[in-house]
Structure 1
């Protein structure tokens, strides 16, 4: 992992939660045509990893993502 992006604390969280759970967020929307296979070349792997983590291309968004008013309402309920 790129140490400039992933702090030691974040790496510990990733280790604690595990691949399956984290992929439920980071890779929730990977189209079959873009999924890696055991025979994927290093360039495909590099492109996929960049899309997955740097661009957040495949992540699962919270249902209220993009609705700032609703997010503000939720936030004030917990404060």
Structure 2
């Protein structure tokens, strides 16, 4: 099954997340199929804290990719801010 989820990067106390498409059996920071965006929870400016390629997101969800709860929340906020 294909999952759309977060992969943690960054250093201690300074997280930075990549939004990736991966096989559900892969490790959190392991193999992935494609990067479709990023999320920076530390960034003060809400416009620059997140970037998602919506075309790729639609493609993967159309094929059957399932998003995690946190990614759904990030996408919802991203669309609300950018509209």
TM surpasses 0.5 = no
What's the TM-score, normalizing by structure 1? 0.26
Q: Greater strand percent: which structure?
A: 2
Bigger radius of gyration, 1 or 2? 1
What's the TM-score, normalizing by structure 2? 0.25
